[in-house]
């Protein structure tokens, strides 16, 4: 096996200057094209914490001590760091005002929308004379200067406050009370109508949201729990946005794994019908990785997801939804190795890479004050409500971020690898490779004279000795070790390697000739 090191050095050097130049031209949205080519590297942020200034380091923003929560303006200072790490798209969690009645947390859930045609005053900097709308435009403009696209989250439900203002917008149960979907006790289910008759009042509510975010300069929308509304509702709304901007991208929070409505009173539209309605992509069921014990489970999911994207009039894509804000921190699930595995899977699979703020530094999202009584609240809830191990979306809290020094470095290199080998990953053929150890997954993505081979150990407690069967592989194969710890031993038609618990290995093989 001939190892070549020059490309690894080139990758690192490229990473150090990764897309460092700013764009000075007029911004032209290209997000839909980028997404459909699996080139988006998406970073999800909560603006309320993204730029938060927690000077006393107690994890909570103490306004009485002149600390500042996240705003549109103080978020700008973090954009250069994201740029250097290879991020080219930001998914901003909801920026709409939040409800304060029957609330969760001392600031209110980001997904408990009070209105759909205005911005959350919590995100405005009091140190600026600019209107909140102009502050939002400035943040998006600064992102665009760095060639970072912006997706804005569209909440699925309305807050109890909105119900009190406009009860006609909501689904009622048999007793005439607004419906609480699943266990989301701080929101009520909007009545979007049916496939036969869309509710125009709710449609116009969402249409006003589309107008608002497009006017601010956003490049796309992520629709929260998109399954909660009829396909026709979305088809009409997406068509409306595309008449204004054909490149405006729509991402549905939907998955093959989700087959039940959020309530017996709720509409349920499966992911494939949402794609037919015009959504560009959805959540592949990659969040199930945490439950997989065999490599076959992962490669079968990849093959199934790739097959599910075919057969549509327009091209469709998925995000690498291995870890989202609804999932517990991978550090808590299986440690640092699991974080690294997710990084390399995103980098080498035909998906749009997807990460949550704090993921790239190993945050475990453990808040010492969680679920304790708060000395001060801005809602009717006087407890710091959080979901253990998940990014806080309910309180004025610290910036997400861990203390790991290696993960950020690997994160940037992997994102750069994805950019450098876009043609291979996007146009190449995915091939599941046979391994001798059931806990080990292995696959190849091959295009023309280049093949990326990825091997990983899903046993996070035990070493795995394995043989990976690769047609046409030989001791004379030219191999570039992108990420290895133990050197593979080449044989004809295979290689053997010992993987540490949870280890992921990435090789680039030249002129392999896989078909």
Q: What is the pLDDT of residues 390-404, one digit of tens each?
A: 999 999 999 999 999
485, 353: one domain: no
344, 483: one domain: no
pLDDT in tens, 38-82: 999 999 999 999 999 999 999 999 999 999 999 999 999 999 999
pLDDT at residue 356, as a whole number: 98
CATH code of 445's domain: 2.60.40.1180
Task: Tell me what the pLDDT averaged over the chain comes to.
Answer: 94
- Dist CA 178 CA 172 (whole Å): 4
Of 393, 420, 447, the residue that ends a domain is 420
Across 385-392, average pLDDT: 97
pLDDT in tens, 248-294: 999 999 999 999 999 999 999 999 999 999 999 999 999 999 999 99
pLDDT at residue 13, as a whole number: 44
pLDDT at residue 9, as a whole number: 44
| Exposure b/e, 179-199, CB count within 10 A at least 16 = b | bbbeebebbbbbbbbeeeebb
CB 419 within 8 A of CB 86: yes
pLDDT at residue 6, as a whole number: 44
Asked whether the predicted pLDDT for residue 10 surpasses 50, the reply is no
User: What are the backbone angles phi and psi of residue 210, rounded to the nearest 5°?
Assistant: -60, -45
**Distance from CA of residue 229 to its chain's centroid?**
21
- Does 4 fall in a domain? no
DSSP three-state, residue 495: strand
Asked whether the predicted pLDDT for residue 364 surpasses 80, the reply is yes
- Does 14 fall in a domain? no
User: What are the backbone angles phi and psi of residue 288, rounded to the nearest 5°?
Assistant: -75, -5
pLDDT in tens, 211-262: 999 999 999 999 999 999 999 999 999 999 999 999 999 999 999 999 999 9
| Exposure b/e, 451-472, CB count within 10 A at least 16 = b | bbbbbbbbbbeeebebbbebee
CATH code of 53's domain: 3.20.20.80
173, 312: one domain: yes
407, 465: one domain: no
379, 400: one domain: yes
Least confident of 11-20, 116-125, 445-454: 11-20
477, 332: one domain: no
- Does 71 fall in a domain? yes
pLDDT in tens, 336-351: 999 999 999 999 999 9
468, 360: one domain: no
387, 434: one domain: no
76, 185: one domain: yes
393, 457: one domain: no
- Dist CA 106 CA 487 (whole Å): 52
Q: How many residues does the chain have?
A: 515
pLDDT at residue 513, as a whole number: 75
174 falls in which pLDDT band (50, 70, 90)? very high
In SS3 terms, 274-325 reads as HHHCCCCEEECHHHHHHHCCCHHHHHHHHHHHHHHCCCCCCCCEEECCCCCC
382, 451: one domain: no
Domain count, the chain: 2
- Does 347 fall in a domain? yes
DSSP three-state, residue 252: strand
Across 7-12, average pLDDT: 48
- Does 3 fall in a domain? no
- Does 50 fall in a domain? yes
5 falls in which pLDDT band (50, 70, 90)? low
pLDDT at residue 17, as a whole number: 47
Which domain covers residue 324, as residue numbers? 31-420
359, 463: one domain: no
- Please give the C-alpha separations between residue 77 and each of 80, 119, 139, 182, 360, in angstroms, as whole numbers: 7, 21, 10, 38, 17
**E strands within 49-88?**
none
- Dist CA 97 CA 121 (whole Å): 7
Of 420, 442, 471, the residue that ends a domain is 420
Residues with Cβ within 8 Å of residue 466, at least 6 apart in sequence:
435, 436, 437, 440, 442, 455, 457, 496, 497, 498, 499
- Dist CA 64 CA 267 (whole Å): 45
Asked whether the predicted pLDDT for residue 3 surpasses 80, the reply is no
pLDDT at residue 454, as a whole number: 98
- Does 374 fall in a domain? yes
4 falls in which pLDDT band (50, 70, 90)? low
pLDDT at residue 183, as a whole number: 87
pLDDT in tens, 127-148: 999 999 999 999 999 999 999 9
Of 360, 386, 420, the residue that ends a domain is 420
């Amino acid at each position: 096996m001939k190892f070549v090191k020059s490309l690894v050095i080139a990758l690192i050097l490229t990473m150090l200057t990764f897309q460092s130049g700013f764009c000075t031209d007029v911004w032209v949205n290209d997000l839909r094209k980028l997404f459909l080519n699996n080139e988006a590297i998406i970073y999800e942020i909560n603006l309320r914490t993204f730029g938060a200034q927690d000077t006393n380091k107690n994890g909570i923003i103490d306004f009485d001590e002149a600390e500042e929560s996240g705003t549109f303006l103080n978020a700008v200072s973090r954009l250069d760091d994201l740029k250097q790490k290879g991020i080219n798209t930001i998914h901003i969690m909801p920026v709409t005002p939040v409800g304060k009645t029957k609330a969760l947390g001392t600031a209110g859930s980001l997904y408990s929308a009070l209105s759909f045609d205005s911005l959350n005053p919590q995100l405005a900097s009091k140190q600026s004379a600019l209107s909140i709308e102009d502050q939002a435009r400035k943040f998006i403009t600064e992102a665009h200067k760095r060639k970072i696209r912006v997706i804005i989250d569209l909440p699925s439900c309305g807050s109890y406050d909105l119900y009190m203002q406009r009860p006609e917008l909501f689904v009622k149960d048999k007793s005439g009370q607004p419906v609480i979907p699943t266990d989301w006790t701080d929101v009520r289910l909007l009545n979007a109508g049916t496939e036969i008759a869309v509710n125009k009042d709710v449609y116009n509510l969402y249409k006003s949201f589309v107008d608002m975010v497009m006017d601010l300069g956003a490049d796309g929308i992520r629709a929260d729990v998109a399954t909660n509304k009829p396909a026709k509702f979305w088809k009409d709304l997406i068509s409306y946005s595309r008449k204004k901007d054909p490149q405006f991208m729509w991402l549905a929070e939907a998955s093959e794994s989700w087959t039940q409505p959020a309530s017996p009173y709720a509409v349920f539209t499966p992911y494939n019908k949402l794609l037919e309605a015009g959504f560009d992509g959805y959540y592949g069921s990659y969040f199930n990785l945490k439950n997989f014990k065999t490599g076959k489970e992962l490669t079968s999911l990849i093959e199934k997801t790739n097959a599910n994207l075919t057969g549509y009039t327009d091209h469709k894509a998925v995000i690498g939804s291995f870890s989202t804000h609804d999932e517990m921190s991978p550090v808590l699930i299986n440690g640092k190795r699991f974080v690294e595995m997710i990084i390399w899977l995103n980098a080498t699979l035909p998906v749009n890479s997807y990460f949550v703020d704090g993921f790239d530094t190993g945050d475990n999202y453990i808040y010492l004050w969680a679920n304790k009584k708060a000395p001060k609240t801005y809602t009717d809830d006087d407890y710091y409500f959080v979901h253990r191990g998940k990014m806080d979306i309910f309180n004025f809290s610290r910036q997400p971020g861990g203390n790991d020094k290696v993960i950020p470095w690997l994160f940037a290199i992997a994102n750069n690898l994805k950019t450098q080998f876009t043609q291979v990953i996007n146009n190449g053929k995915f091939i599941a490779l046979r391994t001798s150890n059931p806990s080990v997954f292995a696959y190849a993505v091959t295009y023309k004279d280049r093949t990326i081979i990825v091997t990983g150990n899903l046993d996070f407690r035990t070493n795995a000795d394995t043989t990976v069967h690769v047609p046409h592989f030989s001791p004379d194969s030219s191999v570039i070790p992108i990420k290895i710890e133990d050197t593979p031993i080449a044989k004809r038609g295979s290689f053997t390697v010992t993987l540490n618990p949870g280890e992921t290995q990435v090789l680039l093989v030249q002129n392999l000739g896989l078909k």
